Each structure stands twice: as structure tokens, then as C-alpha cells.
Amino acid sequence: MCNMGENLADWSKEASAINRVRQQYGKGEKKGWFLGREMIGRDKKINQGVYVGAGEREAIVVDDEKDLPLNDVYKQLLVMRLRAKKIRGTSFREGLLQDIFNLTKETMPVDIGNVEKVRKDLGGSDRKTYLSSFFGGGVCRHQALLAGYLLERLKKEGKIGGDVSVDRNSTDEGGHAWVRYTNSKGKITILDPALNFKGYLKDVQVGDKNWPYYRKSDLRKRKAKKIVQTVGFKAK
């Protein structure tokens, strides 16, 4: 992967997807909605939503009331956590993010061929399909949706706090999606199974050989913190 500095990331993909849908399919629905479902994006609800691309491709529906295999994966995660507690005596949350990371990669390994097959079987662009269609093989967006769904459901059921978001941007290497999880203490973790990265956002070096996960607001805070530290004051 080439160097990816803060100025190389284009964060307009989500807005482009929303605008494309409105232009192609009319304005009968609210902005940010597609065929009766809210479009999944940054800091938005994942379950019950639909993920649409800036360019034409499949429209991925996340709905555990209709896509029952999602429930099976969630139950598998709970079993993993109970086993860890029984064998190692760990708390439910200790190692949770690593289990979600591993389970996502196991359930949905990177397989572009399978993605193309699903899209071909759909018979056209922007056709809705359930996320489980990509169990057995997906790409970054499918993995991010699955990991994000698991975290969101854990929060809904009161097992964790914090907030989860499926983020996406693009560079000259193309588009990319990942999960951004902010725990109840404000610590941000990036889960990016496709690029095999799991770690704290603060540890990602801007401009190094990493994907540019930093939002513009993150960069402003990072710069402000460095300025305060430089002049000798304690950053808050």
C-alpha cells in the first residue's frame, strides 16, 4: 500500500451515493432513503438499513428479522464469549473486539469472485440482496456491515456501550469501508478485516502506510493536541 496522507482521502462517497440514488430513482422518498429503507452510513443505524454504493452495484440489506443467518452469527459470537469466560475466566468484554474481528473474517473471507457471482445472479445494478448472500465471500463493505451489525446488536441488548459506525472513503487506490467503534470512554477502535487491521485510531500514524481512517474532525483534534503539548500545557 502506498503512503496515504491526510489530504489524499476523499470522504464524499456516502454523499455521492445519496445523490446518485435521488437522481436515478426520483425524489419520492426522503433524502438518504432507498426503496423504503434508510441508507447505512457514517454514524447511522445499521440493522434495518440498506447500503448503497456511489457507483452502481448491489444494494445490501441488513435486517436480522428477515435475514435469519445474521442471528446465527450473533449466537455464535455469544457462544465464543461464554466459552472464553468458562475456559479463561475473562469478562464478556475482554477480547470481544478480537472475536468479532476473527468471526467476521471466518464468516466472510475476502472473495471478489463470490461478490461478482452474487451481483450477476441479481441480474442488474442496485438490486437489493441480504447481507448473508456474502457469507462465504465478500469484500470490505460486506465485512464492515457484518462487524458493525454485531457491535450494534450488542449495544442494543445492553452488553456494551459506545457507538458504532460504518465509515467509508476513497483514495487513488479506490474506495474502502471499515468499522469505527467508540467505546463508552471515548476510545476509538478501527476494525478493518479486509486489510487485516484492528487497533486504536490514535495509534495509526497519519501519512504512514495505513489506510486514512481519520475523519477531518479527528485530524483537527490531533493537531490541536500537538499544539497544546508543544507549548507545554497538558492536553485535555
Answer whether residue 217 is part of any domain.
no
Could you give the 3-state DSSP secondary structure of residue 50? strand
Cα 109 to Cα 132, 178, 195, 228, distances in angstroms: 13, 14, 11, 43
- At 155-178, the pLDDT tens digits run 999 999 999 999 999 999 899 999
Answer whether residue 227 is part of any domain.
no
In contact, 213 and 190? CB cutoff 8 Å = yes
Q: What is the pLDDT of residue 210?
A: 84
Answer whether residue 75 is part of any domain.
yes
User: Is the model more confident about 168 or about 227?
Assistant: 168
Question: What pTM was estimated for this model as a whole?
Answer: 0.91
Distance separating alpha carbons of residues 17 and 53, to the nearest angstrom: 5
Q: What is the pLDDT of residue 28?
A: 73
Number of domains composing the chain = 1
Mean pLDDT (the chain, rounded): 90
Answer whether residue 225 is part of any domain.
no
What number is the average pLDDT over the span 168-194? Answer: 96
Answer whether residue 200 is part of any domain.
yes
> At residue 131, what is the residue type?
L
Answer whether residue 228 is part of any domain.
no
Q: How far is CA 159 from the centre of its chain?
A: 19
Which residues are bridge partners to 60 per DSSP?
A: 51, 129
- At 64-120, the pLDDT tens digits run 999 999 999 999 999 999 999 888 888 898 999 999 999 999 999 999 999 999 999
- At 26-79, the pLDDT tens digits run 777 789 999 999 999 999 999 999 999 999 999 999 999 999 999 999 999 999
Answer whether residue 202 is part of any domain.
yes
**Region class of 186: left (phi > 0), else alpha (psi between -120 and 50), else beta:** left
Phi, psi of 107 (to 5 degrees): -75, -35
Answer whether residue 236 is part of any domain.
no
In contact, 180 and 192? CB cutoff 8 Å = no
Give the residue numbers spanning the domain of 143. 6-211
In contact, 60 and 50? CB cutoff 8 Å = yes
Residue among 189, 192, 193 at smallest CA distance from 162: 189
